[in-house]
Structure formats: structure tokens, C-alpha cells
Amino acid sequence: MSDHVLTLKGIRKSFGGVTVLNNVDFCLKRGSVHALVGGNGAGKSTLMKILTGVYFADAGTIAINDEVTEINSYSDARKNGIGIIFQELSLVPTLTVSENIFLNNEIKRGGVLDKKAMNQRTRELINSLGVDINVEEKIENLDVGYCQLIEIAKALSEKSLILVMDEPTASLSDKETEILFRIIRELKSKGVSIVYISHRMNEIFQIADEISVLWNGRIVASQPTGNYTMETLIHYMMGETNEKAMAWKVRTMPVGNQSILDVRNLTLRGKIDDISFSVREGEVVGLAGLMGSGRTEILECIFGKRRYDAGEIRINGDLTRFRSIDQAIKSGIALVPEDRRRQGLVLVHPLKDNVISTNYASVVKNGVIRANLVRQISERAISAFGIKTNGIQTRMLNLSGGNQQKVVIAKWMNIAPKILLMDEPTAGVDIGAKAEIIEIIRQFTSQGNAVVFVSSELSEMMAICDRIIVLSAGKISETFDHAQIHSEEVLQHAIQK
């Protein structure tokens, strides 16, 4: 028996004439972490869906412990000890944490569900992840980050030989990521092998033993992690390097003196406490902090989504108190929300319907929607933001994460906002699209507009923010000017304090 627990050989897959995977070989060593990287649409998710029986390969073989195996369904994959943590959350929102973890795997006593035992097991699992969640809480009442951890707990509960993690940290805070890495190391020591898919290069260098790079449906590099540097890895991924996009760029237009957005003593009981800051024309202000530090809530108060208990918000000096989102939109405020699938888009609708959904007035003439205006606006968005799509009729669920996010940004640019609020705009987006999004923000501010930028990725905050406000438990703990931040560590340290 070789030390390969999994060997994929010559895997091919095409969808309707488009080759997505072209002769892919992939080996996973027992008890190791093998990272799979590549831009959006490189074929990572497709390869993993073949491994887990969701798709069926056109050609090629899958061998588990050197034995060629047919995997025709997800339950085949499970029987072979393959578990997956889905990028799209696969939890049932109306069931509790423990019901989800034991879904289709319930503990029974004499045919009756043993809720006590299931809750107890779940509590142990969750506690081993170092988090505190009420196991009888329904998923729909929990934040995205917690859901991701529960997803991981669920995969762990199934005792897998091979575990596939598809962007497991996309919605985790740094602290939660640390917890995850600790768990991964423990699993490794128990002989579990892990396929780790991520866009976050730093994480991959921290956790992976080997890295394979998919580019355009082919493996272009597969080596131990030590053989790569950040530059060479990005080079393989991009074809051409563009790591410079993440470097600070001096503004073409300096930040003005006029303050566009003023937040004074904003308070939302239990969430945010006495927050004051202002954003001037052409300025990008970053809100950094762990999940639950009040970042999202501040944006939603400004956007009229939440009522706040105390404080003032001024737009161009005028006191406002929006009672609904459409009032905020009329005042030129846009919010790119945290969860693009749930809050940002109607996934079942085509691109064109999503792009116009913030501003129907822009396509209506004499009360009627003009198809040619819809086409114009959609096509302008596609070219302005470099959205990769078959056309304006393509449904959103058929676009990759990065392109979906660009559509969300496009739909908000359609109201010609003066203030753009962005909540994790690059989560789950590949590095190429990430750089493009950063560039869009630069363009936007060069026209004298203001941006409030929330992100868990400090490197991109450092690339774009003129000022970074660090939040901790709903309060401002520190404020940095761009010039004051010399390294990511400084910021990281402030957030973890």
C-alpha cells in the first residue's frame, strides 16, 4: 500500500462543450493537508464535486487506498470515508444545531430519537471547536461565521478518512480560523487527510503540506509547500503576476476637507456603543474587528436597515434618520451586504433583473420598463466591471463568486451613490477579482465619493483604506491613519487586543 490515500488520474469533465477539467491528476498523502488553489472558474469546485459524487467524470479514475472506486453519489463518497464541508452552507435553517449535525445520522433508542444524547454529543463537538453555541438554537438565528463552524463540526461528526474543505475560512474571523487550524492539525495527527481549497494565500502557507495549482482546468504545479514563495504561487495562479494590486496606491485625487458622512455617538443597545467617526469626500474609512464587533451593525444603521437607540447620522451636514432603506438610497447611500447570496442577489433571476433592482426608475419611460434601457445598463455594467458571463440573460447562480459580487457592486453603482458601504466585499472571491474590486473602489473615490469598508482581510484594508478604525465589542478601540500602519501585524495586534 502506497502512502497515497487518494489518487485521481486523468480526470476530464466538460459541460456542454466547455472543458472544465482537462486530464487532471491529483494525489493526496495520508495524514496531510493538500491545498488546491486557482482562480474562480479554474475547476477546483468541479473537481471536488466529482470526488464527492455530485458530478460524474467524463473520463479518469478515482482510487482510494490504491483501489479504483466508483463514486456515483454523495452516499458512495460517504461510504468511502470522504466528507466535505460545503462552500454553500448545507445546513437546514429551520432545524437546530444538533438536529443538523445528526441529520440522517440520528442517534436512536428503540426507534425513538435520543435528543439528550444528540445534544450532549453536539455540545462536546462544538466545545472541542472552542466556541460556545446553544446546540438547541435554530440555524436561522445564528450568524454566518457560526454556521461555518457548525458545518465543520458536522463533517467531523461523520468520522471521515478524507475531508474536503471548500473555502472553510471565508466567513470566519481570525480567531475562528486559528481554532480551525488547530482542529486540522489534530485531525492530521489522527491520520485524516485534508483537501484544502482557499483563496487566502497566507492561510495556505500556514496549513498546507503540499500545494497544487489548477489553471484553466489543468494542474500547472504540484509540489511541497516549501518549494513555493508567495510570488511563485501567485504567478502559477494568474499566469501573470498582479500582486501589486494589493499594494497601496497614491490617490489620483487627494482626500477633500468636506465631510460627507458624520456618525456621532451612534448606539445600538448590546451591539454598538457610542461610535463616532466621519468620512470625507474621496476617503475610504475601514472598519476592522472580529465578527460580532459591531462592524455590520454600524453599516446597517447608516443604511436605514436598523433603528438605532441613540446618536446622530449626518449626510453632507444634514441630520438624517432613515426609516427605511429606500430613503437611504434616495440620499445616495449604497450597501454591498455581507452575504451576497442571501442579501445581495436574487440567484434564480438573470443578471439583467438583478442589475436594475436598486433603480427601476432608470429603465422606466412613461411608466413602462424599456428592454433596450435594461440591456444598455446591463451591458455597461458587464464591461465596466469586467463581469464574466454568457450574457445579460444568465442566471446569477451560474456565475462564479467573484462575478456575482461584481453584479452586486454594479447594481449599487446603478444608483450613482455618494456613499458606498461595503461589508466583506471580497469574501470568497479569487485574487484576480479581488484586485479588480479594489480598483473599482479607487475609481469610485477618485470622483469625490466616500467609502466605508469592512473586511476581515487586513492586507486589502491596508491597500485601500485612508484610515482604519478598529472595533472591539461594539466600541472604537483604536484608529490608524494609513501612514501609521507599517505592517499587517500592527493591525492584527490591535484587533486581537
Partner 1 sequence: MPSKNKVPGAKVQFKANQYMVYLIFIVVLVFFAIWLGNSFFSMSNLMNITRQTGMISVMAVAMTFVIGSGQIDLSIGSIVALSSLMSAITLQKTDNIFLSVFVALLLGAAIGAINGFFITIVNIPSFLATLGMLSVIKGLAMWTTATKAIAIANTTFSNIFGMGLLFGVPIVLVWTLLSLAIGDFALRHLAYGKKVMAIGGNTTSAIYSGIKVRKLTTLVMTFSGVSAAMAGIMYSARMQTARYTYGEGDELSVIAAVVLGGTSMAGGSGNIIGAVVGSLLLGVINNGLIIGGLNVSQQMVVRGLIIILAVALSTIGNRKKSRS
- Which residues make up the interface to partner 1 (CB under 8 A)? 15-16, 49, 54-56, 72, 74, 86, 88-91, 305, 324-326, 328-329, 335, 337, 342-349, 353, 356-358, 360-361, 363-364, 367-369, 411
Nearer to partner 1, 59 or 346 (CB): 346
Q: Nearest CA to 133 among 292, 371, 305, 333? A: 292
d(CA 336, CA 415): 13
Reading the block at residue 291, the C-alpha cell is 465578527
Give residues with Cβ within 8 angstroms of 390, minimum separation 6.
398
Residue in the block written with cell 516549501: 226
- As measured in angstroms, the least distance from the Cβ of 224 to partner 1 is 33
Nearer to partner 1, 209 or 300 (CB): 300
Nearer to partner 1, 193 or 358 (CB): 358
d(CA 424, CA 444): 17
- As measured in angstroms, the least distance from the Cβ of 92 to partner 1 is 8
Nearer to partner 1, 289 or 417 (CB): 417
CB 238 within 8 A of CB 277: no
Reading the block at residue 110, the C-alpha cell is 428503540
Nearer to partner 1, 88 or 240 (CB): 88
- β-pairing verdict for 450-454 and 272-280: unpaired
- As measured in angstroms, the least distance from the Cβ of 424 to partner 1 is 14
- As measured in angstroms, the least distance from the Cβ of 337 to partner 1 is 5
- As measured in angstroms, the least distance from the Cβ of 357 to partner 1 is 5
Nearer to partner 1, 125 or 345 (CB): 345
Strands (E), 346-414: 364-365, 368-369
What pairs with residue 368 in β-bridges? 365
- As measured in angstroms, the least distance from the Cβ of 339 to partner 1 is 8
Give residues with Cβ within 8 angstroms of 4, minimum separation 6.
27, 28, 29, 30, 63, 66
d(CA 464, CA 434): 12
- As measured in angstroms, the least distance from the Cβ of 412 to partner 1 is 9
Strands (E), 332-415: 333-336, 364-365, 368-369
206 φ/ψ sector (left φ>0, alpha ψ -120 to 50, else beta): alpha
- As measured in angstroms, the least distance from the Cβ of 53 to partner 1 is 8
Give residues with Cβ within 8 angstroms of 38, minimum separation 6.
44, 213, 214, 215, 237, 430
Nearer to partner 1, 48 or 465 (CB): 48
Nearer to partner 1, 303 or 444 (CB): 303
Nearer to partner 1, 310 or 346 (CB): 346
Alpha helices per DSSP H over 239-350: 295-302, 325-330
- As measured in angstroms, the least distance from the Cβ of 329 to partner 1 is 4
